[in-house]
Amino acid sequence: MRTNRLLPLAAATALLLTACGGGGESVDTGGGGGGGDNVLIAAVSAEPDQFDPHVTNAYASFQVLENVYDTLVVPSAEDLTMQPSLAESWTTSPDGLSWTFTLRDGVTFHDGSEFDSADVVYSYKRIIDEELSNAYRFATVSDVTAPDPRTVVVTLTRPTPNLLELIGSFKGMAIVSENAAEEFDLQSEANGTGPFTLESSDANATVLTTFGDYWGGAPSIDGVEFRYITEPTAALTALRNGEIQWTDNVPPQNVADLEGDEEVELGSVTSVEYFYMSMNYAVPPFDNRDVRRAIATAVDREEVTQAARFGAAQPNETAIPEGSPWYLEYAPFTPDQDAARRLLEQAGVQTPITMGLMVTDEYPETVAAAQVIASQLEPIGIDVEIQEEDFATWLDRQSEGDFDAFMLSWIGNIDPADFYENQHLSTGGSNYQGYSNPQVDDLLTRAATEPDQAARKALYDQAAQVIVDDVSYLYLYNPDEVQAWAPGLTGYQVRADSAIDFENVELP
Amino acid sequence: MTGYLLRRAGQAVVVLAGVSVLVFSLIHLVRGDPIRLALGTRFSQETYDALRERSGLDLPLVQQYFTWAGRAVTGDLGVSFRSGDTVTSLIGERLPATLTLAVAALVVALVIALPLGMLSALHPRSLVDRVATVVSQFGISVPDFWLSIMLILLFAGVLGWLPSGGYVPIGEDPLGWLERLVLPAVATGVVSGSVITRFVRSSMLEALGSDHVRTAQAKGVPTRQVLTWHVLRNALLPLVTVTGVQLAYLLSGVVVVEIVFSWPGLGQLAYQAVRDRDFPVLQGAVLLFALVFLVINLLVDLLYGRIDPRIARR
């Protein structure tokens, strides 16, 4: 072990050498290379791929676009219920097949042009006609018309009670100005109605400038500079140094440390994202309900949460987090390895069996969670073989059904339809596990068109119970959304939908 | 000399063509569908097909290659799947940052390597030599990721002397540019410097032990003159090669260091392109790396000829 004792010495020497080579000018903590003193410098972990809200799918892009574009309605920061934004009010026809939106007056785009119904029609038709990323959200929309400049009518093929969530839950449904795609290079330019304008973007930073004519009143800061800092240590160091004032690059393992740190303010909220594990119905014995239930019974969600998130999450046996109006208190599985063994016996399974569990390094916490699950399933005779893939390969294998089981999360859910339809309808576009239950199909289909909120919740509650009992998904937890900022920064609120809104921020 | 140059340039073109075929086929053989990645988890089949057609990925692979290669010859490397920017503009945007970092790292490397390597060669098995061995061993084996984090924690965190990362162009803020350059250049330069230290030491030792040096010493030539004219000149030869290779390596973007320090260079670009399966960007970047290696090798060979005329004559 001689080398080990030499290492600190060598490290010290190397650092000394580097200090000599460097020169130690002091750092101006004020603004760095970016704009003026009243500009918020925010560190995000990735560079936006592009800025066309109707095309991109990257969270890094939406972090920026959230502040540049508006939607007709917008989820409230408190409970994610839909609030007026570009639409002031709306009415629904008695048959539920037509929605009429009254638009806000006196709204201008960043280029100075006035916002009216033609812009809404243009934006929505662009998504539908060009089959852009979010076209699936308009699956029940048959037409969008503008009878007058302040009115937009959306006509549907069947009642769609969650239309507001579909058009308002994120900036992928942003309203751009009429003919924006012809007049602007939307991949690198923006013309929205939001509180900030897109000033510039390069490999180093994206810069937003305050829009003086914003309909909601101009923000008090002069702008926002998004810097891309992938490495959390670098981001948190930069925050402590005053190089940046805000970051969402806070790994769960750092939370406990940061809580006692006076140089950093921490904000946290249980998000509507959920992590789950899913087993392949086409691969025996995972097609057997008892086998899946055995596995669900052997998994201890508290332990998984501790290992994967260092406790920064809420264990959950359904998808929707506590606090959402759609939350259902239902937890039929208590960790019990004897009960799990009995279920396996009942299923007639000869143990040990092997289960490949596919995870991706894109979400490191799934790797940690998989290791805990492997150790929990081993005593009941299931050898978990963890298969770690990069995300592109992972997605390929998922869509080809080339797996025994996999883990991942769903983000951006607000309405229960987002939580259940795509994933558990037998015709669902993301039903990669191959789940098919006529009762669930019936419940989800009826819930999708049920206009009465209470009746709708009852239908989703029933569906959720069957889904949990069948273990179509083995739900694990809702992670906390954790962000950190400089002490004294006010007007910022961490949101359960992970949207980042700097409109009301004031710098220390 | 001109014939030699032409022959070498011809070889380079053939190699480049080979690399292009290899890069193209390898990237397309790797699992992972860029369209699925770009669309996220929720999309309809129509959307998928539309984007696939727009990207030209529905065409047969051979046709895709010749379309791409044909355009690449004219300098058009295509358009990024993800951002829609041209690959040449993306590379052009990143090149200055990587160039800066590579040259600065090389300076750091040589500043470490030359004195350390020479001193240990002149005093083998002395304290200096042993320290140099340990330091270079450390430099070679320490993960650059770890070293980078340590540098950030010490110089940006504890001491607060330098920023934790980022980049500003020199024209905008020369001091800020320099401050941000120091840590990544050191993190990268330590590794290269360690490699070069060993080469300097061994080639100096070899030169010191050679017959003509002993002859010169026997003739009574002053030590200083022996060192500069007889030893250094011979020791420089392998050093040119090693330095060239190191520079090429640095230029192709020290991926990890660029990511840790948020240095917007080619390494970062290539890393993102691999992750996103952004084929055009990746193909363009790899082709550029190959070109850099070929050109630097060519330059090294020419330089070699200058230092040792025997080689050019062959």
Of all helices (H) and strands (E), which one includes residue A158? none
- Identify whether A316 is part of a domain: yes
Residue A396, classed as helix, strand or coil, is: helix
HEC-encoded secondary structure of A286-331: CCCHHHHHHHHHHCCHHHHHHHHHCCCEEECCCCCCECECCCCCCC
| CB atoms A25 and B175 under 8 Å | yes
| Structural domain count of chain A | 2
Same domain? For A321 and A448 the reply is yes
* pLDDT value of position A301: 96
DSSP 8-class letter at B155: I
The CA distance from A28 to B199, in Å, is 40
Q: What is the pTM of this model?
A: 0.87
User: Mean pLDDT over residues B124-137, rounded?
Assistant: 87
The pLDDT score that the predictor gives to residue A16 is 38
End-to-end CA distance of chain A: 50
Q: Which two tokens stand for residue A394?
A: 């992972």
Q: Given an 8 Å threshold on Cβ–Cβ distance, is B262 in contact with A234?
A: yes
Cis ω before A379 (30° cut-off from 0): no
Written as one letter, the residue type at B53 is: E
Q: Structural domain of residue A169, as residue ranges?
A: 69-183
Query: What CATH number is given to the structural domain containing A170?
Result: 3.90.76.10
Decide which of A389 and B9 is more confident.
Answer: A389
**DSSP characters for A209-240?**
EE-TT-TT---SSSEEEEEE--SHHHHHHHHH
Cis link prior to A352 (omega < 30° from 0)?
yes
Using the Cβ of B56 and the Cβ atoms of chain A, whether some distance falls under 8 Å is answered with: no
Q: List CB contacts (< 8 A) between A387 and chain B.
A: none
A131 and B47 within 8 Å at the Cβ level: the answer is: yes
**Nearest CA of chain B to the CA of A47: how many Å?**
9
Q: Do B32 and A231 touch (CB under 8 A)?
A: no
What tokens does A321 get?
Answer: 């987090």
Q: Is B166–A227 a contact, with Cβ atoms under 8 angstroms apart? A: yes
Domain-embedded: residue A311: yes
Of A32, A231, A392, the CB nearest to B163: A32
Min Cα distance A216 → chain B (Å) is 31
Measured in angstroms, the CA of B171 and the nearest CA of chain A are apart by 11
User: With an 8 Å Cβ cutoff, are A241 and B164 in contact?
Assistant: yes
Q: Does A393 contact B31 at a Cβ distance shorter than 8 Å?
A: yes
Q: Supply the pLDDT for residue B180.
A: 92
pLDDT in tens, B91-106: 999 988 998 999 999 9
Residues of chain A neighbouring B131 (CB-CB closer than 8 A): 13
Q: What is the spatial distance between Cα B283 and Cα B79, in angstroms, rounded to a whole number?
A: 11
- Shortest CA distance from B112: residue in chain A: A17
Contact between B194 and B202 (Cβ < 8 Å)? no
Chosen domain end from A183, A199, A231:
A183
pLDDT in tens, B250-279: 887 688 899 999 999 998 899 889 888 899
3-state helix, strand, coil in chain B (%, to 5): 80, 0, 20
Inter-chain CB proximity A18 and B262 less than 8 Å: no
B92: nearest CA partner in chain A: A203
Verify that A158 and A278 share a domain, yes or no.
no
Q: Are residues A286 and A393 in the same domain?
A: yes
B50/A contact by beta carbon, under 8 A: yes
Same domain, A285 and A171: no
Chain B residues within 8 A of A7 when measuring between CB atoms:
138
Task: Classify residue A233: in a domain, yes or no.
Answer: no
Cβ-contact A382, A245 below 8 angstroms:
no
Give the closest-approach CA distance of B14 to chain A in angstroms: 32
A169 plus A280 within the same structural domain? no
Cross-chain Cβ contact A243/B164 below 8 Å? yes
**Contact assignment for B47 to A136 by CB distance below 8 Å:** yes
Contact B82 A50 (CB under 8 A): yes
Give the mutation candidate from A131, A399, A430 for the B interface (greatest B CB count, under 10 A).
A131
pLDDT of residue A14: 40
Please indicate, yes or no, whether residues A365 and A472 belong to a single structural domain of this protein.
yes
Residue A116 inside a domain? The answer is: yes
Strand intervals (E) in A120-229: 141-148, 151-156, 196-201, 205-210, 223-228
Q: Are A392 and B277 a contacting pair at CB < 8 A?
A: yes
Is A430–B108 a contact, with Cβ atoms under 8 angstroms apart? no
Give, rounded to a whole angstrom, the gap between the first and last alpha carbons of chain B. 10
- Do A391 and B259 make contact, defined as CB atoms within 8 angstroms? no
**Residue A254, domain member (yes or no):** no
In angstroms, what separates the C-alpha of A7 from chain B's closest C-alpha?
Answer: 8
Domain final residue, candidates A166, A183, A200? A183
Question: Nearest-CA residue of chain A relative to B258?
Answer: A230
- Subunit contact B183:A240, Cβ cutoff 8 A: no
pLDDT at res. B294:
86
Do both A428 and A290 map to the same domain?
yes
Query: Order of strands across the sheet with A87-92?
Result: A87-92, A98-103, A151-156, A141-148
Q: Would an 8 Å CB–CB cutoff place B143 in contact with chain A?
A: no
Neighboring chain A residues of B268 at a CB cutoff of 8 Å? 203
> How confident is the model over B131-188, as pLDDT tens digits?
888 888 888 888 888 999 999 999 998 898 999 888 888 888 899 899 999 999 999 9
Residues 151-170 of B with CB under 8 A from A: 151-157, 159-168
Closest Cβ opposite residue A396 in set B31, B93, B108: B31
> Residue B51 has what pLDDT?
84
Residue B109 to residue B195: CA distance in whole angstroms: 9
Is there a contact between A33 and B168 if contact means CB atoms under 8 Å apart? yes
Q: From the CA of B155, how many Å to the nearest CA of chain A? A: 9
Q: What is the pLDDT along chain A (508 residues), one digit of tens a residue?
A: 333 333 333 343 343 333 333 333 333 333 334 446 799 999 999 999 999 999 998 899 999 999 999 999 999 998 899 999 999 999 999 999 999 999 999 999 999 999 999 999 999 999 999 888 889 899 999 999 999 999 999 999 999 999 999 999 999 999 999 999 999 999 999 999 999 999 999 988 999 999 999 999 999 999 999 999 999 999 999 999 999 999 999 999 899 889 888 899 999 999 999 999 999 999 999 999 999 999 999 999 999 999 999 989 999 999 999 989 999 999 999 999 999 999 999 999 998 999 999 999 989 899 999 999 999 999 999 999 999 999 999 999 999 999 999 999 998 789 999 999 999 999 998 999 999 999 999 999 999 999 999 999 999 999 999 999 999 999 999 999 999 999 999 999 999 999 999 999 999 8
CB pairs under 8 A between A and B: 201
Residues A144 and A284 in one domain: no
Q: At what angle do helices B144-151 and B174-208 cross, to 10 degrees?
A: 130
Which DSSP letter does residue B97 get? H
**CB-based contact A27 B153, cutoff 8 Å:** no
Chain A nearest C-alpha distance from B128 (Å): 12
| Domain end call among A153, A183, A213 | A183
Count CB-CB contacts under 10 A for residue B296: 18
The one-character DSSP state at A430 is T
Nearest to A233 among B93, B147, B149 (CB): B149
Is A378 part of any domain? yes
Q: Which residue in B has a C-alpha nearest to residue A362's C-alpha?
A: B275
In this prediction, residue B311 has a pLDDT band, given cuts at 50, 70 and 90, of low
B132 contacts B120 by C-beta, under 8 angstroms: yes
Which carries the bigger pLDDT value, residue B45 or residue A477? A477
Question: Residue A373: how many CB atoms within 10 A of its CB?
Answer: 31
Q: Which of residues 235-254 of B touch A (CB under 8 A)?
A: none
Q: Which residue of A has its CA nearest to B179?
A: A25
> Is residue B203 classed as helix, strand or coil in its secondary structure?
helix
Contact yes or no for B168 and A14 at CB 8 A: no
Are B34 and A392 spatial neighbours (Cβ–Cβ below 8 Å)? yes
Question: In this structure, are residues B90 and B269 in contact, taking their beta carbons and an 8 Å threshold?
Answer: yes
Please check whether residue A245 lies inside any domain of the structure. Answer: no
Same domain, A174 and A288: no
Contact B83 A187 (CB under 8 A): yes
Nearest CB neighbour to A234, from listed B182, B260, B277: B260
In a domain, A451, yes or no: yes
- Look at A135 and B42 and tell me if their CB atoms are within 8 Å: no
Q: Do A311 and A432 have their domain in common?
A: yes
Q: Searching chain B, which residue's CA lies closest to the CA of residue A237?
A: B157
* Residue A427 sits in the same domain as residue A302: yes
pLDDT for B309 equals 64
A331 and A465, same domain (yes or no): yes
Contact residues, B window 103-132, toward A, CB-based 8 Å cutoff: 108, 111-112, 131
Chain A residue with minimum CA distance to B30: A393
Say which of A132, A227, A237 has its CB closest to residue B156. Answer: A237
Please answer yes or no on whether A390 and B32 come within 8 Å at the CB atom.
Answer: yes
- Cα(A252)–Cα(A184) distance, integer angstroms: 40
Nearest CA in chain B to A422: B42
Is A204's CB within 8 Å of B259's CB?
no
A2 burial type by CB count under 10 A (0-12 exposed, 13-18 middle, 19+ buried): exposed
CATH code of residue A461? 3.10.105.10
Which of A3, A27, A358, A431 is the best substitution to test chain B (most B C-beta atoms within 10 A)? Answer: A27
